[in-house]
Every structure is written in structure tokens, then in C-alpha cells.
Amino acid sequence: MSVTEEIRNFVVENFLFGDEAGLTDDSSFIKEGIVDSTGILQLVSYLQERYRIAVDDEELTPENLDSVRRVAAFVEVKRGRVAAGA
Amino acid sequence: MNGCVHHFLENSASRRPDKVALVHDGERVTYRRLDRTASRIAAFLIERGVQPEDRIVLLLGNGVQYVASYYGILKAGAVAVPLNLQTGPEALTRLCEELQPAGIIMEREGALLRTPLQFLPSVRFVLFADAAAPAGEGGAWGWDQALKGEELPPEGRPVADTSLASIIYTSGSTGAPKGVMLSHANIVSNTRSIVEYLHLTEDDVQMVVLPFFYVMGKSLLNTHVAVGGTVVINNNFAYSASVLRQMAEEGVTGFSGVPSTYAYLLHRSPLASFRDRLPALRYCTQAGGHMAREIKERLMQVLPAHTKLFVMYGATEAAARLTYVEPERLAEKIGSIGKAIPGVTVRVLGPAGEELAEGESGELVASGPNIMLGYWGDLEATARVLDRNGYHTGDMGYRDGDGYLYVTGRKDHLLKVGGHRVDPQEIEDVLMSSGLLLETAVLGVDDALLGTRLVALAAPLEGAADHLALLAHCRAKLPRHKIPAEIRLVSLLPKHPSGKVDRASCLVICGAAPTTTS
């Protein structure tokens, strides 16, 4: 399963009670009321555990985290850095 | 004549028409534009047949349209009823039956709304804030069409300051939410008191992350509009770094939150690294429930040295604010809710309504021009909390030798465990003092043997806590009957959209149906 699919599944299971109707990879979590601030922290904990990345407080921004596509891209960049030893 | 809530906007618009009133998502709205939009909304409502004291339901997120609608409703002499955006279809139908609103202003068409439209004869129109909706068909209006008409001239519809301005639903820590009826005079007097003790001026720029449908969010709006200040709306508090960045960019002078807002800022945001980037931040205010001492102390360390922390106390029934602690005395009176705000009296009363001496514990009872008219359509509930002594807050507490008030817990949160009266707040404070937790809630769960069993839901700071360490901490600080029978670790506590802990949902997590406690 790709990172995008995994994140999508996480969001659908944890925030949409399994109902993925209407969720696109670009849906804004906050604007569309999919995830609240509690949920964002749950998502961040999931990313840290599942992908073994550290998410810095400075990185809690909509640019990094506000849609399935953005989260996936963020994870890929962070993992790339881990792999490169940076 | 004290004036009406919408006069705040009209006065600021005539004094400083070009001043920026609102900043939201890159949009900057001047007082002139905001006032004119509100006047168009008012004219639209009157055109639709809205009569004085008719209820208009507002189902909008924080934004320019919310603010224009709110003041527009008031200008038309109608009653603004902002509802929690997360109100589900069933609850909305029930509320609409209770309110018999003349109209609804909401974000976008959803399944939600067909029900009241179809079945409630009182609803004459629904105004959609997204511009694309049709014009007038079947009572549905789009924002742009609604704003095409004339503006309501100033005093186009005279409104008495004694009339009902708003009904705000309480989040209801126990029982069903109740609609708190606030008059123009209630809100205006409270707004003036807050402006006075926070020393707000037109130079103030407030960052608002709390919803406007919650009474504290409403206060932030009215106080800043009253002084001609600027309100920065940021609905992205979940992304705390972007909120802090905007506070730095906009030169924000004031920030406000409930306890969970500050727990989040301290532990899940880059607040510490912004210490040098917030030179304009004059003060922070906290209300919306008891905040643990550890969080207050950490905040005083982490916030910039020039930023004052105001700990405050209030209730929806008081149009928001009742007391505050002067920042200069916060360290010394760290557990206190302070003294009454200007124009308000808060006394500690015994069961027979007698005033208690210093140190004696009783119920906090408030009186003043800010106290609500009553609960909408519920004379019984009104009679339970309003009497000749004023508003019975349901909070238990005492007064110290300097006249500072302390809340020890809520009357209806008191638990009876094995014959002892237990106040969950005391146990929550002890758990927080371990320094291992982000937040916690102590609940009474029905138990066949004990009657009630104490369960603590606890959210640890990252990787910091195990329940044994927490139990050991409780054992060292609490008598045996106050030690939770179980400490359950969770990642976070469920919250209301206001950020307050949702105790009913906490009970569900504990595997119990919500119970009434006494």
C-alpha cells in the first residue's frame, strides 16, 4: 500500500467512521470539518509511529498536514531525510 | 440608555471608517465595509418580514460573513442565535422546534437544512453564505443576491436596549444544552467592563481561535469592535505553528483561550521559540474553566516577559465575564479566580442564601447588569438559577482574607464515593501536578459495589507517563478514598468545539452511560 493510501485509510477509519464519501486527496481537513485539533495530534502521533519520523512543533502547519496529499508529501520528504541520514 | 450591541459597530465605523476591523484568510475588511454589509443584511431580513425579537439561527464558522450577519440581525431588532457548527440534523430539528426561528443563515446547503425548511412553518428563508445559491426560490437565498438591496439606514429600526439580543446555548456539562437569553444591555455592560479591565484601545489586535458561537468568542468580537480594534480570525488552531506565525506577522496584542488551548500551546506548539518574535503581545486571557496551576506557571515562564496573563472566570449566563485576577497578583493568588469585574458583584452564599464569612465554602452567586434574562422557553430551569440574590453559578468556592475568590468545584460534578463527597477537580489538580500529563479528567463511573468508582482519563505528555507513576503520585498526595480506582491513559480528551472538555463523552470512553451526580 502506498503512503497516500495508508494515510487515507487512517483518516477514513479514525475520523470519518469508515465512510469515505466526499474525501478527496485534496480535501482540507479543517475547512471541511474532517479533523479537529485533537485529530491533528492523533494524526501526527500516527505518522511518528508508523513512519518513524519526528514531527517538530514548527512543522504543525496546514501546508504540511491539511490534506491526504500534503501529509503524504510531507512524510515522503521526512523519510527521504531520514534515509539520507540528515 | 446604554446603547445596543450593534451601536459598537456603527460608532467605530463612523469614527474610523478606514480602520481594519477584521482579518481573515488574507481578506482585510474595514469598519465601513463591515457596517455597510451588516446594514444590507438587516435590510434583507426586514424585507423577508423579520419582526423585532424574531430568532435568526446562525450556523456559520468564524469569518467575515458571521460577523456581518451577527450585527445585521441585531440591527434588524432580531435575535441572533449562533449554534455550534457540529450540531447534527436531529439536534438542529429539536432546537428549531424550540426556537421557532424566522430564518437560518448557514454555510452551505446540506441535508441538515431540508428538515426545518420543510417542516417548520416559522422558517421564512434560508440564506446561504456561499454565493452560488439561487435567489429566493423556495425561500433559499444566496449571499450575493441578499446583499444586492439597499442598506438599512441608521436607526432604520429602533431597538430598545432592554430587548433580547442573542440566545447562546451552553455546552451543557450536564443535561441538555440550555438557551441563555442575553439582552442588548447584558452584552453592552459586560463588553464595557471587559474593555475597562483589559485596558483595550483601538490599537489592540486580537487573535481569535475560539468559535464566535461560544460566549467567550462572542466577547472577543464585541470588545474589539467596541474600541475600534482589529480582530484576526484564524480557524487553524490545530496547526499551532501557523497561528503563532500570524500573531507575529499581524502584531497581535491579545490572545485568548480556554485551558486546553494553553495546554496545547505549551506542549504541542513552538511557543517557546516564538518568545522573541511576539514583541506586540501585550496580554493573554484564559477563561472557560479551571486551568491547572502547572500550566499557569509554565505559561508565565514561556510567554514573553512583557506579556501579562489574565486568569478570568465567567459563565454564558453572565454574558461571559464575572471575575479576573490582576496579572500583577497572579503569582501570589495562583489558584484564585480573582475579584468581580467592574459593575458586578460575586458573593459566596450558604444554602439559605446567607452570605458566608471568609474561608467558608458555599455557592458563588453573581449579580449585575450582565446577568441573563433567563433560559429560553424554560421557566423552571430559570427559576432554579435566578433569584433575588442573583445568578447561582453552580460553582462551589470561598473568599480569602483579601477578598479573592476561589472555585473548588462544580456543585453538579461532586461525586459520592463510598460515603465520601469527592470533588473531581481536586484529584485532577493533583494528577496535573505530577508534571507528566497534558490533560486529565476524573469521572465517577457507576459501580455495583461502591455506587461510584473514580476513573481518571489521563493524556500523558509524549512518552512521559505510566499509570503506576501517576498512582504513586496520587497516593503521596491524596487520602485513600480520593485515589482513582483506575487511571486510563488516552492520547487526548474529547472536547467541545469551544475547547472545553466534553465530560459526557469522557464517560462514554470509560464505558459508562452519562450519569447524574449529586
Please give the full DSSP string across B75-129, using - where no structure is assigned. Answer: HTT-EEEE--TT--HHHHHHHHHHH--SEEEESS--HHHHHHHHH-TT--EEEES
* B238 is a domain residue: yes
Region for residue B394 given its phi and psi (left: phi exceeds 0; alpha: psi -120 to 50; beta: otherwise): left
pLDDT tens string B187-233: 999 999 999 999 999 999 999 999 999 999 999 999 999 999 999 99
Question: Does one domain contain both B196 and B139?
Answer: no
- Asked if B354 and B445 sit in the same domain, the reply is no
Same domain, B250 and B302: yes
Three-state SS for B461? coil
What CATH number corresponds to the domain at position B353? 3.40.50.12780
| Residue B339 sits in the same domain as residue B373 | yes
Do B393 and B406 sit in the same domain of this protein? yes
Same domain, B306 and B436: no
Same domain, B275 and B331: yes
- CB pair distance less than 8 Å for B269 and A57: yes
Question: Is there a contact between A61 and B241 if contact means CB atoms under 8 Å apart?
Answer: yes
Q: Which residues contact B363 (CB under 8 A, 6 or more apart)?
A: B348, B349, B392, B393, B394, B395, B396, B397, B411
Cβ contact (<8 Å) for B239 and A60? Answer: yes
Percentage of chain B modeled with pLDDT above 70: 93
Q: Is B302 on the interface with A (CB under 8 A)?
A: no
Domains of chain A from N-terminus onward: 3-83 (1.10.1200.10)
- Report pLDDT for B117: 57
Q: Are strands B339-340 and B320-325 parallel, antiparallel or unpaired?
A: antiparallel
Q: How much is the pLDDT for B517?
A: 38
Q: Which residue of A has its CA nearest to B63?
A: A31
Task: Give the closest-approach CA distance of A64 to chain B in angstroms.
Answer: 9
Q: How far apart are CA B40 and CA B237, in angstroms?
A: 31
- Asked if residue B164 belongs to a domain, the reply is no
- Looking at the complex, report in whole angstroms how far the Cα of residue A67 sits from the nearest Cα belonging to chain B: 12
Whether the per-residue pLDDT at B420 is higher than 90: the answer is: no
Which residues in chain B have their CB less than 8 angstroms from residue A39's CB? 238
What pLDDT was estimated at residue B515? 42
* Number of domains, chain B: 3
Tell me if residue B280 falls in helix, strand or coil: coil
Q: Say if strands B230-233 and B451-460 run parallel, antiparallel, or are unpaired.
A: unpaired
- Are the beta carbons of B239 and A57 separated by less than 8 Å? no
Residue B517 lies in a domain: no
Domain that holds residue B9: 5-19+29-159
d(CA B224, CA B222): 6
**Same domain for B431 and B350:** no
Report if residue B171 sits inside a domain.
Answer: no
Q: Is B268's CB within 8 Å of A36's CB?
A: no
Whether chain A has a CB inside 8 Å of the CB on B464: the answer is no
Length of chain A: 86
Q: How many CB pairs under 8 A join A and B?
A: 57
Amino acid symbol at B416: K
**CA-angle at B318, arms to B313 and B319, nearest 5°:** 100
Q: Would you call A65 and B85 a contact, using CB atoms and an 8 Å cutoff?
A: no
Asked if B112 and B212 sit in the same domain, the reply is: no
Could you tell me if residue B496 is inside a domain?
A: yes
SS3 B473: helix
Could you read off the pLDDT of B267-282 as tens digits, one per residue?
Answer: 888 999 999 999 999 9
CB contact under 8 A, A66 and B269: no
Residue of A nearest to B463 (CA): A45
C-beta atoms of A60 and B242 within 8 A: yes
Q: B516 lies in a domain? A: no
| Residue among A31, A33, A59 whose CB faces B241 most closely | A59
pLDDT recorded at residue B195: 98
Give B182's DSSP letter. Answer: E
Instruction: Establish if A62 touches chain B: CB-CB under 8 angstroms.
Output: yes
What are the tens digits of pLDDT across the range A3-54? 999 999 999 988 887 788 788 999 999 888 788 777 888 899 899 989 999 9
User: Which of B410, B425, B442 corresponds to the end of one domain?
Assistant: B410
Question: Which is it for the CA torsion A27, A30, A33, A35, positive or negative?
Answer: positive
Report yes or no: A33 at the B interface, CB cutoff 8 Å. Answer: yes
User: Do both B437 and B392 map to the same domain?
Assistant: no
Q: Please tell me whether residues B155 and B289 are part of one structural domain.
A: no
B449: domain CATH number is 3.30.300.30
All residues of chain B having their beta carbon less than 8 Å from the beta carbon of residue A35 are 238
Q: Which residue has the cell 495562583?
A: B334
DSSP character string of B369-407: TTS-SEETT-HHHHHHHEETTEEEEEEEEEE-TTS-EEE
Q: What is the mean pLDDT of residues B409-420?
A: 80
Residue B452 falls within a domain, yes or no?
A: yes
Give me the CATH number covering residue B74. Answer: 3.40.50.980
CA dist., res. B453 & res. B429, Å (int): 18
Report pLDDT for B87. Answer: 79
Query: Within an 8 Å CB–CB cutoff, is residue B93 touching chain A?
Result: no
Look at residue B118 in the predicted model and tell me its pLDDT: 54
Give the three cell numbers for residue B147.
446583499
Helix, strand and coil content of chain B, in percent to the nearest 5, comes to 35, 25, 40
- Answer whether B239 sits within 8 Å of A33, measured CB to CB: no
CA distance B255 to B248: 12
Which helix (H) or strand (E) segment holds residue B137: the answer is none
The alpha carbon of residue A5 is apart from the nearest alpha carbon of chain B, in Å, by: 23
pLDDT band for B174, please (50, 70, 90 cuts): low
Does some domain include residue B470?
Answer: yes
Q: Which residue does chain B place closest to A64, by CA atoms?
A: B239
pLDDT for the residue B49: 95
